[in-house]
Amino acid sequence: MKNSNLVLVTGASSGIGEEISRKLCEAGFDVILTARNKEKLVKLRHELSNSGYVSHVIPCDVSSESDVKKLFSETKEIGFVESIVNNAGFGKFSSIDKVATKDWDDQINTNLRGSFLITREFVRDMIQEKRGRIVFINSVAGKYGYPYSAAYVSSKFGLRGFSESIRGELREHNIKVISIHPGAINTNFWDNVDADFPKSEMLDPKCIADFTLQAITSP
C-alpha cells in the first residue's frame, strides 16, 4: 500500500476538526481532510502545505451513503487509513414542541448515521490488516440529557451506544475504539446558539486536538 500513516478526519473544515487535523500533521501524520465545504478544506490544505505537512482534500457529506463510498474509493488511491476521527456533527436547540422534523433528521443523520457509514466502510480494511484506531468526538450530551437539546442529545447517546458496541466487537482484531466526551468548546458551533455562558469559559479546541492525538498514539 502507498501509505499506512494516514488519518481520516471528518468535519475537518473548521472548529475541532480543523484543530485536530493541524495537530496530527504536526505530529507527523498524513491527514485526509473531509467535510462538505471544499473551499474551506482547500484553504486548510494550503496552510498545512505551506508548513511542510502532507494532507489530502476529499469533500464528502458523511450522511450520504454514496458520498462515503466515493470517499473510501478515493482514499484507497492514497493508502491504508489506519485511524479515523469521526468528528462531523452539529446541533440545533429548542424546546421539544418546536423541533422541526428536518432538524431532528439532519442531526441524527450527520451525528450518528454519518459515523456509522464512515466506520462501516473503512473498518473492513482495518479488520483485514489487524490494526486500526477509531475515535469518536462525542459530547457530555452523550452522557447527560440536557433540556432543549432532544435531537442533539439523542444523536450523541446513540453514538455512545454505537461506539461501546463496536469496541467489544473489534477488540479481537486489534482495533482500538475511543470516545471523547468534552463539554462546551469555543468554536463556531455556538455562533447561532443563544447560550447563557461566555465563550471565554469554554474549552479551547486545541485541548481536544491534544486529547485526540494522545488517544491515537497511546499503546
Cell numbers 456533527: residue = 89
Q: Distance between CA atoms of 19 and 41, rounded to whole angstroms?
A: 12
Q: Which residues are catalytic?
A: 152
Q: Give me the half-sphere count of Cα atoms (radius 13 Å) on the Cβ side of residue 152.
A: 20
What one-character-per-residue DSSP string does 37-65 give?
-HHHHHHHHHHHHHTT--EEE----TT-H
User: Is residue 177 within 8 Å of 160, Cβ to Cβ?
Assistant: no
DSSP class of residue 109 equals: I
Task: Write the burial class of residue 150 (CB in 10 Å: 0-12 exposed, 13-18 middle, 19+ buried).
Answer: middle
